[in-house]
Structure 1
Amino acid sequence: MGLKFLVVGAGAVGGYFGGRLFEAGEDVTFLVRPKRRQQLQKTGLVLQSVKGDANLAPPLIEKGETDTFDVILLSTKAYQLENVASDLTPFMHEETVLIPLLNGMEHLETLKRFFKKEAILGGLCFIESTLTPEGYIQHTSSGHRLTFGELDGSQTDRVQNIADAFANTNADVQSSEQILKDMWRKYLFITTLSGITTLFNSPVGPIRASTEGLAFTRLLIQEITTVMQHTDAPIADDFAEKAWGQFMKLSAETKASMQKDIEKGLPVEADHIQGYLLKIAKDYDLDTPYLHTTYTNLKVYEQTRGKDDTR
């Protein structure tokens, strides 16, 4: 008997990977808000992707409805997590597992306040996608990778069963025996990318073309790495160089999802991404001028957004 998946939300990340899973014939249901449900019932779940388009009609449920699921894919924004987490218990049975695909690391602490730690897997994804005004999921880069695994690194039957379910999807999905290391490495990269593209209000290309932009990026990576090395996280010696190499290989048009959110006038995850690292830096009395500059820029945006009701 196959696994029953619940995807929380049908946005640019959950909608894409959940859609690919449903497209492959797996049992997938989306937990959505009433407005999104009405939109999806009208248009279908539309994927516009360089890897192949799809128009799907998966089952949809809302808060208050009843059913239980084996695996919950959680791809909300960090500022939505506490409200969403309290809604999930009715959809869980004793063996349900959660795979969070949020950026950063602080959300693991939040989830452990709501659920037993055994229910939580580690997870991350790399995908450049966005939600269009029509509610379509627009995937614009060749990458669409999702990685998950046990937080303690063990290779369990439940991880293998989930990997088997994803095996035939039109996406690059894999399990990992070092998921915490993978998550911290992505955290370094996404903190850098979101920080510089929002600070300079620019895609990657012009930043790389600027001597000053390159220097700022390099120093920001080094600064974030130093902060992470003061935790008990599995930070490898090559983290900084790999993040730099990844940044240099990005297409010139690449923007962080946080920058796209700002362009739409949406909330941002400044406290969850940059702010969490600044708390660690403060605990160890570390000087972090570059990280603090990117964070300050985002906090000013939050103030501007809060005073502008037209956004």
Structure 2
Amino acid sequence: MKILIVGAGAIGGYFGGRLLEKGEDVTFLVREGRKEKLQQTGLNIQSKHGDLQLSPKLITKKEQSAPFDVVLLSTKSYQLKNAIEDVKAFVDSNTMILPLLNGIAHLTPLVEAFGEERVIGGLCFVETTLAEDGTIVQTSPTHQLIYGERTGDDTQRIQRLEQAFSGTKADFIRSDNIEQEMWHKYLFITAMSGITSMMESPIGPIRELESGQRTIQTLLEELAAIMGKMEAPIQREIADMQLKRINSMSAEMKSSMQRDIEKMQATEAEHLQGYLLARAKELEMQVPVLEIIYTKLKLYEQKLTKDA
């Protein structure tokens, strides 16, 4: 299959690199500056699962190319609008759009741009960052990419994608219940990013405090209640399941949102916390912990804009 990875950043670069390592036909769609840099240095990955030095195929949005079989999107939510415009020239009626963005709100603009049939479901669990020299640094034992038809159907195209992804030195996992997987991760990442960003701390010191533990649990229950009222396909015990997961994580674990704030970069607050807070208001639900977290994040964004 011809695979187009949008961007060669921390997530797309990592999973695209693993596919390239296997020998798949992978191309990266990048900006002019990133293309020049990668042509000089190659795509370098430092990982717990083995380092890589690769010379990938690179294109920019101005270049011509035949349509791709699958387009993998791993941009931040605030980059999605531009990414959609960038990839339109490389998509035809047979192309699968595989988004790895956190949350759910991105599905609507993707379906509007490419059609219901083209957009499949996806998410990932991996801890990666982009070093100053452009190296992708992957530090977590977990490096999962989960994908599947949003209908749960066993289609020929998803079987082809499964064949292309199999044997890669990362965990590419097909799910027949991808929408539930996406909602479950949405709940987890919204809680994890919100708590660590608001407290300005890794998860360990927060959960060691009795008050911290209660705050985490209350937030998870608020998020699950909103999703339940929205009739999202979540398990009834999801809040308890995610609390156990958070309590089992490494004490030093930070969320990507927290790391973005430490670097004085933009966040996905509107896409994650903001989307669910808006739904809670529509449903006339009281969600005080979520509201406090959202307020903290919006104040940070206002300061970031003012200082820019």
Looking at structure 2, the residues matched to 54 and 167 of structure 1 have their Cα atoms a distance apart, in angstroms, of 19
Describe the superposition over 1:153-191 as per-residue Cα deviations: whole angstroms up to 9, x where unpaired.
Answer: 111111111111111111001111100000000000000
CA deviation after TM superposition for structure 1 residue 7, in Å = 0.1
Looking at structure 1, the residues matched to 225 and 241 of structure 2 have their Cα atoms a distance apart, in angstroms, of 15
Partner of 2:6: 8
Q: 2:15 aligns to what SS in structure 1?
A: helix
Q: Under a length normalisation based on structure 1, what TM-score does the superposition of the two structures give?
A: 0.97
Query: Match for 1:45: what amino acid?
Result: L
Query: Match for 2:270: what amino acid?
Result: D
Query: Match for 1:245: what amino acid?
Result: K
CA deviation after TM superposition for structure 1 residue 146, in Å = 0.5
Partner of 1:69: 68
Looking at structure 2, the residues matched to 49 and 124 of structure 1 have their Cα atoms a distance apart, in angstroms, of 20
Partner of 2:138: 139
Partner of 1:81: 80
Looking at structure 2, the residues matched to 234 and 37 of structure 1 have their Cα atoms a distance apart, in angstroms, of 40
Looking at structure 2, the residues matched to 234 and 24 of structure 1 have their Cα atoms a distance apart, in angstroms, of 34
Deviates more, 1:83-92 or 1:217-226: 83-92
1:122 aligns with 2:133: no
Q: 2:87 aligns to what SS in structure 1?
A: helix
1:111 aligns with 2:110: yes
Could you say what the CA RMSD is over the residues aligned between the two structures, in angstroms?
A: 0.8
Partner of 2:214: 215
Looking at structure 1, the residues matched to 140 and 31 of structure 2 have their Cα atoms a distance apart, in angstroms, of 28
Query: Match for 1:159: what amino acid?
Result: I
Query: Match for 2:300: what amino acid?
Result: Y
Query: Match for 2:61: what amino acid?
Result: K
CA deviation after TM superposition for structure 1 residue 213, in Å = 1.1
Of residues 30, 41, 44, the one that matches 1:43 is 41
Deviates more, 1:257-266 or 1:25-34: 257-266
Describe the superposition over 1:229-257 as per-residue Cα deviations: whole angstroms up to 9, x where unpaired.
Answer: 01121111121111111101111111111
Query: Match for 1:257: what amino acid?
Result: S
Task: Report how many residues are paired.
Answer: 307
Q: What runs of 5+ residues in structure 2 fail to find an aligned partner?
A: none
Partner of 2:50: 52
Partner of 2:98: 99
CA deviation after TM superposition for structure 1 residue 88, in Å = 1.2
Partner of 1:194: 193
Q: 1:111 aligns to what SS in structure 2?
A: helix
Looking at structure 1, the residues matched to 148 and 134 of structure 2 have their Cα atoms a distance apart, in angstroms, of 30
Partner of 2:252: 253
Describe the superposition over 1:255-308 as per-residue Cα deviations: whole angstroms up to 9, x where unpaired.
Answer: 111111111111111110000001110111000110111111110110111122
Q: What runs of 5+ residues in structure 1 fail to find an aligned partner?
A: none
Looking at structure 2, the residues matched to 33 and 203 of structure 1 have their Cα atoms a distance apart, in angstroms, of 33
After superposition, where does 1:130-279 map in structure 2 within 5 Å? 130-279=129-278
Identity of aligned residues (%): 49
Query: Match for 2:56: what amino acid?
Result: P
Describe the superposition over 1:5-60 as per-residue Cα deviations: whole angstroms up to 9, x where unpaired.
Answer: 00000111111001100010000000001111122112111111111110111100
CA deviation after TM superposition for structure 1 residue 89, in Å = 1.4
1:33 aligns with 2:22: no
Looking at structure 2, the residues matched to 104 and 256 of structure 1 have their Cα atoms a distance apart, in angstroms, of 14
Looking at structure 1, the residues matched to 54 and 258 of structure 2 have their Cα atoms a distance apart, in angstroms, of 28
Deviates more, 1:212-221 or 1:98-107: 212-221
Q: Under a length normalisation based on structure 2, what TM-score does the superposition of the two structures give?
A: 0.98
1:293 aligns with 2:292: yes
Looking at structure 1, the residues matched to 288 and 135 of structure 2 have their Cα atoms a distance apart, in angstroms, of 39
CA deviation after TM superposition for structure 1 residue 109, in Å = 0.7
Looking at structure 1, the residues matched to 79 and 120 of structure 2 have their Cα atoms a distance apart, in angstroms, of 19
